[in-house]
């Protein structure tokens, strides 16, 4: 049984701050330049808590984590941050226009979830994680004893019963556009009847972590650490729970985008293409400076169409005026190769499995460690940034992926496996600073 509960949350006092100046994206997408901007936006921007600056003078007693803890306590004393009057849920709507001109309104809610080991089968991961981010988040959690950002969870609800259980107040607590042009609307839900109904509806769900794997595993580590400090712990102790955002996997407004790959290490282009063609057909779409943008649109469109019924991916090589579309032609040969690499059947239907195992690992000879640490390979969320890497000669080849299928993500997770790392990009990202969950 999944246990969802309202939060005795900490929120910004909107009488004392301009909410647009204190919110921030998640810590893991904030660049150094954006960090500077957020610091300049406000002395109370959440970035100072989730991604504080490092200084050469930092020590064990004075560092980004100790400064975050001090700022957090000071802001509460100053009334910049305040507690909600009652345990609440936060109903969170994000509205934006997609690159194709489609209006999207993704709905969900923020509450807290009792932590469960993945072995329980109640909460499923879908990607692999790396040690560095988890160590960083653990140190922040130990210092501040707080969740500053939500874990992004999805659940299946074809009838949309959970969304229908909410009765929204007339006025939202927050209504703000972020720097990406996404409108973020947050309502505070303190009606006990609505909350209880939501809890009952959620208890038979299986949750899939869409984003925030590092933070979830960190929360598990922190829970275990606290249980050692407090062996007579109780189930309701705050460290046994983690703040989450929940949205419906069956809602058409849930959009997932691919993460592209760029190769920066020197390659033998002719050998690479020849080896790929043992498994894939190749179609080259030529362009010049006048037709470049139009043919790029055609290329992406053809890739998406091909990926509906087959395994396909795109590639662009430095110094060539071609968009290359690769579609699988020898499934039996590919299956045999993947089987030899112990890839389970549910993963053999993924474009990323073939790209990583056949192309990146076998042909290009990238080790698993190279791929995990991004040595000679980078994972790029924004399509334009991937193409820009060719323009500025920082990539030898760019691999462009089609939109992931939510059914594939669900199937892989339910069979107990994980997608290749950096498989998916759930857009838009959840803002930090909307709600804070204390762990003490």
In a shared domain, residues 242 and 270: no
Is 80 exceeded by the pLDDT of residue 2? yes
In a shared domain, residues 230 and 277: no
* Mean of all residue pLDDT scores within the chain: 93
In a shared domain, residues 268 and 391: yes
Res. 116 pLDDT band, cuts 50 70 90: very high
In a shared domain, residues 184 and 291: no
In a shared domain, residues 160 and 264: no
In a shared domain, residues 247 and 268: no
Number of domains in the chain: 2
CA distance 24 to 381: 18
Within a domain: 39: yes
Question: For residue range 224-240, what is the model confidence (pLDDT) as tens digits?
Answer: 999 999 999 999 999 99
Percent of the chain with pLDDT strictly greater than 70: 99
Question: For residue range 191-209, what is the model confidence (pLDDT) as tens digits?
Answer: 999 999 999 999 999 999 9
In a shared domain, residues 216 and 279: no
Q: Which residue has the higher pLDDT, 423 or 301?
A: 301
Q: Look at the pTM and tell me if it is higher than 0.85.
A: yes
Within a domain: 409: no
Nearest Cα neighbor of 430 from 97, 90, 155, 117 is 90
Is 70 exceeded by the pLDDT of residue 268? yes
Question: For residue range 147-195, what is the model confidence (pLDDT) as tens digits?
Answer: 999 999 999 999 999 999 999 999 999 999 998 899 999 999 999 999 9
According to the model, what pLDDT value does residue 409 have? 83
Within a domain: 406: no
Which of the given ranges, 129-133, 168-172, 251-255, has the highest pLDDT on average? 168-172
Which element (helix H / strand E) includes 155?
strand 151-155
In a shared domain, residues 109 and 248: yes
In a shared domain, residues 245 and 268: no
Res. 131 pLDDT band, cuts 50 70 90: low
- φ/ψ bin of 27: left (φ > 0), alpha (ψ from -120 to 50), beta (otherwise): alpha
Within a domain: 88: yes
Q: Which residue has the higher pLDDT, 85 or 45?
A: 45
Percent of the chain with pLDDT strictly greater than 90: 82
Within a domain: 8: yes
Question: For residue range 19-46, what is the model confidence (pLDDT) as tens digits?
Answer: 999 999 999 889 999 999 999 999 999 9
Q: Is 67 exposed, middle or buried (0-12, 13-18, 19+ CB in 10 A)?
A: middle
Q: Write the CB contacts of 195 (distance below 8 Å, at least 6 apart in sequence).
A: 6, 87, 88, 89, 189
What's the chain's length in residues?
440
**105-130: average pLDDT:** 88
In a shared domain, residues 85 and 196: yes
Range of the domain at 307: 260-400
Res. 132 pLDDT band, cuts 50 70 90: low
In a shared domain, residues 217 and 114: yes
256 near 425, Cβ under 8 Å?
yes
Question: For residue range 403-413, what is the model confidence (pLDDT) as tens digits?
Answer: 998 888 888 87
According to the model, what pLDDT value does residue 99 have? 76
| Placement of tokens 């790959």 in the chain | 261
Could you give the 3-state DSSP secondary structure of residue 147?
strand
Within a domain: 358: yes
In a shared domain, residues 201 and 264: no
Is 90 exceeded by the pLDDT of residue 323? yes
Within a domain: 342: yes
């Amino acid at each position: 049984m999944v246990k969802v509960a309202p939060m005795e949350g900490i929120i910004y006092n909107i009488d004392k701050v301009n909410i647009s100046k204190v919110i921030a994206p998640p810590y893991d997408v904030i660049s150094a330049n954006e960090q500077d901007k957020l610091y300049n936006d406000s002395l109370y921007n959440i970035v100072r808590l989730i991604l504080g600056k490092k200084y050469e003078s930092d020590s064990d007693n004075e560092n980004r984590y100790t400064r975050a803890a001090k700022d957090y306590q000071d802001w509460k004393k100053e009334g910049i941050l305040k507690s909600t009057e009652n345990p609440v849920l936060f109903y969170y709507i994000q509205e934006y226009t997609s690159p194709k001109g489609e209006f999207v309104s993704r709905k969900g809610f923020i509450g807290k979830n009792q932590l469960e080991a993945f072995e329980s089968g109640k909460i499923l991961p879908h990607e692999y994680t790396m040690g560095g981010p988890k160590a960083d988040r653990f140190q922040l959690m130990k210092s501040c004893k707080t969740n500053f950002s939500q874990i992004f969870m999805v659940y299946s609800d074809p009838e949309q019963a959970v969304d229908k259980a909410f009765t929204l107040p007339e006025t939202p607590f927050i209504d703000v556009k972020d720097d990406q042009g996404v409108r973020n609307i947050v309502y505070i839900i303190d009606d006990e009847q609505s909350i209880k109904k939501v809890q009952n509806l959620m208890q038979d769900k299986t949750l899939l972590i869409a984003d925030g794997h590092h933070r979830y595993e960190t929360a598990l580590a922190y829970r275990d650490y606290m249980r050692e400090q407090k062996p007579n712990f109780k189930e309701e102790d705050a460290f046994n729970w983690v703040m989450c955002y929940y949205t419906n996997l069956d809602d058409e407004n849930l959009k997932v985008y691919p993460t592209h790959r760029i190769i920066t290490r020197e390659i033998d282009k002719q050998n690479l293409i020849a080896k790929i063609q043992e498994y894939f057909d190749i179609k080259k779409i030529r362009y010049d400076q006048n037709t470049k943008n139009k043919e790029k649109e055609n290329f992406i469109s053809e890739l998406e169409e091909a990926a509906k019924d087959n395994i396909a991916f795109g590639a662009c090589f430095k110094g060539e005026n071609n968009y290359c579309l690769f579609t699988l032609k020898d499934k039996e040969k590919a299956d045999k190769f993947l089987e030899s690499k112990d890839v389970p059947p549910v993963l053999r239907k993924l474009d990323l499995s073939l790209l990583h195992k056949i192309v990146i690992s076998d042909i290009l000879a990238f080790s698993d460690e190279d791929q995990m640490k991004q040595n000679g390979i980078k994972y790029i969320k924004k399509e334009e940034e991937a193409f820009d890497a060719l323009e500025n000669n920082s990539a030898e080849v760019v691999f462009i992926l089609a939109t992931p299928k939510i059914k594939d993500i669900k199937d892989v997770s339910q069979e107990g496996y994980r997608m290749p790392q950096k498989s998916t990009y759930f857009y838009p990202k959840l803002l930090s600073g909307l709600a804070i969950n204390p762990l003490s």
